[in-house]
Amino acid sequence: MAGSRRLVMRLLSGCGWVRGSDSALLSRLRDEAVVHPRFLTQEEEDTLTRELEPQLRRRRYEYDHWDAAIHGFRETEKSCWSDASQAILQRVQVAAFGPDQTLLSPVHVLDLEHWGYIKPHVDSVKFCGSTIAGLSLLSPSVMKLVHMQEPEQWLELLLEPGSLYILRGSARYDFSHEILRDEESFFGAHRVPRGRRISVICRSLPEGMGPGRPEEPPTAC
């Protein structure tokens, strides 16, 4: 890991990983917008990155689609994981989802290039249930949540490489989320320089829907 990145994170450690417009909001969303800063070990982060790279490298980064929420990205859906990665995803499932929640399969993998970013949006309720959980790899980034009706209510999540974020309930439905572009990538007053970032995103199925594709073979390969 680059020394400068460690330094940024040390400087920030006093501020925690979630900032917000006011303390009442922070406390209301304490269990709905959650960051686990060192969820992955360096070895686990490397395992996931190594496994994802060949699949991602086959794709081109996409730009400039007029209504796209994401700019400067390539993505894939992955259902077939090594045992080591499956064990990591299992830990995500336990940390983020309840026993009654079924996960959308396959897992969404998003690769944002250095200048890539995600504009404010709410994940479609057609495809995603009440919980979104994402692992961040390679670069730190800032995720901003803004209340759809009361934009003065906002949160900032500092997503270090190896961290896990969880959005559920009101944070998932009532707030838009975005990943800030490099020029705007600040956590409060602290600059969080963006580089290429990969995220591995698990989502619950919309409530009332059965398992995604039950006929599919087990995910080990």
DSSP codes joined into one string, 49-79: HHHHHHHHHTS--B---TT-SEEEEEEEEE-
201 binds ligand OGA, rule: CB under 6 A = yes
Q: To the nearest whole angstrom, how small is the minimum distance from the Cβ of residue 218 to ligand OGA?
A: 26
Sites for ligand OGA among residues 160-179 (CB under 6 A): 177, 179
Q: To the nearest whole angstrom, how small is the minimum distance from the Cβ of residue 176 to Mn ion?
A: 9
Residue 205 is given by DSSP the state P
Q: To the nearest whole angstrom, how small is the minimum distance from the Cβ of residue 125 to Mn ion?
A: 12
Query: How big is the CA angle at 217 (ends 216 and 220), to the nearest 5 degrees?
Result: 130
Sites for ligand OGA among residues 34-63 (CB under 6 A): none
Tell me how crowded residue 129 is: count the other CB atoms within 10 A of its CB: 21
Q: Give dist(CA 219, CA 17) in Å, integer.
A: 33
134 binds ligand OGA, rule: CB under 6 A = yes
Sites for ligand OGA among residues 1-40 (CB under 6 A): none
Place of tokens 């007029």: 66
Q: How many residues does the chain have?
A: 221
Q: To the nearest whole angstrom, how small is the minimum distance from the Cβ of residue 211 to ligand OGA?
A: 21
123 binds Mn ion, rule: CB under 5 A = yes
Q: What is the largest CA-CA distance in the chain?
A: 50
Positions touching ligand OGA (CB under 6 A) are 110, 118, 123, 134, 177, 179, 199, 201
